[in-house]
A and B are shown apart, each in its own frame.
Chain A
Amino acid sequence: MRGSATGTPDAEALELTPDERAVLAGERGEVLRRAMASVVRYGETFDARRLVAIEGAPHLVTSFGTGTMKPFFAMLDELIAAGARSERPFTVNPRPVDRASVRYGLADRVALRLLYGEQKRYERQLAALGLRDGDAFTCTCYLPEIGNTPARDAVLAWSESSAVVFANSALGARTNRNAAGIDLLCNVLGEAPEFGLLTDGGRRATWLVDVRTQALPEAQLLGSAVGQRVVDGVPYITGLDRWLGPAGDDATVAYLKDMGAAAASNGAVGLFHVEGVTPEARDAGRELLADGASRYVTDDGELERVLRAYPVVWARPDAAPELCFIGCPHLTSGQLAGWTERALDALLDAGRPRLAVETYLCAAPQVQAAFRSGHGATHAAAVRAGLRFTSLCPLMFMSNPLARRRAVVTTSAKLRTYTTARYFRDADVLPVLVSGTVEAAPS
């Protein structure tokens, strides 16, 4: 079936300016007409009433040049040929391959070349469309070391679900959960349809989540539980301010980042408020709760139930772990230092010189550089102990069909969701890495 010229939802609801109508009529060329038609139909589907100007630099999810994405590459070629470009330089998700830091076998190299054979072409396209620089590849673009940190209330058109939920929740910026493709089209046009999380009404909390755990819960598990329960709702979370400080300190940033990533991938959460912690909750408190908001009480037993429900999908469930990825989303500088110190302490306690499992700590290039310069001796000791540092996307690594056959462990609920990697809590994974057996994890 061929597409119709206009979308089915109410085309009259979205009012366009004369300039926008001219673009939609093709007066600026066929490519921009299709870009505008896509964005307008997107807005109509969600009852947007107008397009609004984008006020911050973009972040895009698509960092991988996979050969199957032919229509996407063709669209980018058409945009480039038409002279389209993002008004502001953008950041993009991590690269799928890191040959400088990751050990690949011959079979892996062949498989990755087949899977990501269009990577160089794709990165040339990104450069032509406004990529900030060659180090702009991370899912944590908002960290201070990278600097794509949007201002409070700034209208954005971001993708990457973990970055979207962080920008909305911890920074108070405004972006919908935009899909790959639509994100770039909005930023080329400089406008996004106004609906959902761009509006005051769409940012009201539809769920009250009451956390009654005995200690600060594992961020990944709490996020997973919240995502599964509220699905696409906006949770207002109480009880965490017993342990979390203001949204700006490294530990809180790391917590909100990991909780949000799990909620966004295990559900469709694009915004959460944490009482006493996130900016809108600090300003408005429970006035953010919408009338008739649902309620979800969670405790240690509930989070244990969520953990036990994760399926183990290793080819051989009793296999010895071969690989570990920590840092999906990428780690903060505080997390990088913390993991390194804890791993070295665990080895010291066990009387072992090196980890038994090949372990990668994933972080943005700038965060790694800051860690090396600030903690040179620790970094060197970590490398000697078998820890490796990379800026790749572990999800993209695991998309290699050969990787699916390997026994991979992770502390990321998001990586677990999309791959065969097996999840362990932060405290549980270190005994596994030191001993080389999953039985070493506390039950």
Chain B
Amino acid sequence: MSATFHGRPVLAGELSGEALVTRHPFNTLASFIKCLTTGARKAVCSDQDNPDLYGKVLTGAVLCLPQTIGSTAAGLILETAVHKGVAPAAMLFSESVDTLAASGAILADVWVGRRIVLVDRLGPEFLDAVQDGRRVGVRADGTVTVA
């Protein structure tokens, strides 16, 4: 049974893809640092404190998460990941985006001309409904459908 949620489109876009879900806060720097210092062609989550994602491929995923945490190099790390084509296709937050992930996505949009779709404030019910591998559709107005 599909479920629909309405969030705030921080960086709007339309896409659909497979969900990759974490119920732990997403540490942006810890998750991408290994990929971006080894030149890997796919980003494999290197955050040892996140049992939901550690060792999983982030590239191209529709990442479903509560919120982002961690240190301030995260903005640059996310911008670089978008530029290299190893970022998730979208980040869908049940709570609010933090200043770091928002900045990284904005910098990529303004200075690189590449966009990662960000929708936040989807509510805790969103993370209750979505699981790894479920098909998720995103609309430009922030509507998210979990198939």
Contacts and interface: CB of A to CB of B under 8 A. Distances in A.
Tell whether A pairs with B.
yes
A135 to B, nearest CB: 22
B73 to A, nearest CB: 5
Q: Interface extent on B, as a size class?
A: 35 or more
A414 interface: yes
Contacts of A298: none
Contact of A161 (B10, B70, B104, B109): B70
B99 to A, nearest CB: 5
Given A2-B113, A180-B75, A68 B84 contact: yes
Interface string B69-108: 1111111100110011000000000000111101110111
Given A179-B75, A180-B75, A8 B111 contact: no
B103 A181 contact: yes
Given A61-B71, A183-B72, A268-B70, 16 more contacts: A1-B114, A1-B115, A38-B106, A38-B110, A66-B36, A66-B37, A115-B37, A161-B70, A161-B72, A162-B71, A176-B99, A179-B104, A180-B74, A182-B107, A265-B27, A417-B49
Interface of A: 1-4, 7-9, 34, 37-38, 41-42, 45-46, 61-62, 66, 68-72, 74-75, 115, 159-162, 164, 176-183, 196, 227, 231-232, 264-268, 311, 313, 399-401, 404, 414, 417-418
B67 A311 contact: no
Given A34-B111, A268-B68, A68 B36 contact: yes
Contact of B76 (A7, A62, A115, A227): A62
A3 B107 CA distance: 10
A45 B110 CA distance: 14
A8 B12 CA distance: 6
A42 B102 contact: yes
B72 A34 contact: no
B74 A179 contact: yes
Nearest to A33: B110
9 contacts: A7-B106, A37-B110, A68-B39, A159-B75, A161-B72, A177-B99, A180-B74, A182-B103, A232-B98
Nearest to A41: B106
Given A180-B72, A180-B75, A232-B98, A1 B13 contact: yes
B75 A181 contact: yes
B64 interface: no
A70 B49 CA distance: 29
Contact of A72 (B9, B34, B48, B80): B80
Contacts of A177: 72, 98-100
Given A2-B115, A68-B39, A414 B25 contact: no
B10 A265 contact: no
